[in-house]
Amino acid sequence: MTRENIRTPDGGTLELFSTGAELAKAGSGIVVVPPSMVTAADYTKFAQKLSAALGRPVHTFNRRGRGSSSPQPEDYTLDVDIRDLDTIMKHTSSTDVFGHSFGGAVALHAARTLPVERLAVYDPAVSVNHSVTADWTAEYERAAAAGDDDRALAVMKRGLESGGSSFSSRMPLSMLTLANKLTAGTSEGRQQRDMMRTGVREIKAIIAADMPAEPFLELPLETLIVVGEKSPAYFGVACGQIHDVLSGSSYTILPGMGHDGVIKAPDRLIQELSDFFAG
């Protein structure tokens, strides 16, 4: 794996990791757009397995507010991530894109205007006809303003996992707050606290970009939509509407997998994606 910092047209910096860079002659690489609350490092296993299966490079990058990439601007919108994805695609000469969760929402909106040839998404957190709501943000902001990061993080986790099968989505808020206190000193706990403010800003950006399904007709004909069987239900609601209007798209439900299916990189998902990106 190689690492480099690249400059964006607005003078920012994006931290880029390339797996299988020596395979560039085998064809265009795959750009992975990560979700909220994680870094590119969380996708190392996934990138390694997908690159090995395809025999092509896989590029992951830290979106703004992560690693050595620039902070999110105060006036952040999805357009910031769309422009950054354009920069990464041009720098790596890549035309294929994979997005997970919030990264899937970025990829879906971006592929309507960027030169994406093949697009795959897993549980994209895109809002179609108000499929994504965030009534919990007011409670989150009250806790954050009071300096109670443990409770704020608990409110965020429960709100994001509403409708899913995870233990967090069913745990009382007081217990989830206590669990956050107990894990505050772990690497995962620190990462979640570092990123929760950017994460909430991104949720608000998704809701602000809500639209009907019809504009997604501009997506590439080659579009693969994957939803985890155990993922929160709202992912499937939006994906179903996009699939209905996009006649050339493929829709797959990954058995036994939840929203973290990409990070786990199961062989079935790697095979599904490698078959798709191999054309």
Each residue's pLDDT tens digit, 30-44: 999 999 989 999 999
Task: Say what the pLDDT of residue 272 is.
Answer: 96
Prediction pTM value: 0.91
Would you write out the chain's pLDDT as a tens digit for each of its 279 residues? Answer: 999 999 999 999 999 999 997 776 666 899 999 999 899 999 999 999 999 999 999 999 999 999 999 999 989 999 999 999 999 999 999 999 999 999 999 999 999 999 999 999 999 999 999 998 888 889 999 998 999 999 999 998 888 775 444 555 567 888 989 988 888 888 888 888 888 888 889 999 999 999 999 999 999 888 999 999 999 888 999 999 999 999 889 999 999 999 999 999 999 999 999 999 997
Task: Say what the pLDDT of residue 234 is.
Answer: 86
Question: Could you tell me which of 72, 4, 13, 2 has the C-alpha nearest to residue 44?
Answer: 2
The 3 state secondary structure assigned to 68-97 is: CCCCCCCCCCHHHHHHHHHHHHHHHCCCEE
Task: Say what the pLDDT of residue 217 is.
Answer: 94
**Whats the size of the chain, residue-wise?**
279
From the candidate CATH numbers 3.40.50.1820, 3.40.830.10, 3.40.50.300, 3.10.20.600, the one assigned to the domain spanning 2-130+210-277: 3.40.50.1820
CATH 3.40.50.1820 domain extents, the chain: 2-130+210-277
Work out whether strand 222-228 and strand 118-122 pair parallel, antiparallel, or are unpaired.
parallel
Phi, psi (5° rounding) for residue 220?
A: -60, 145
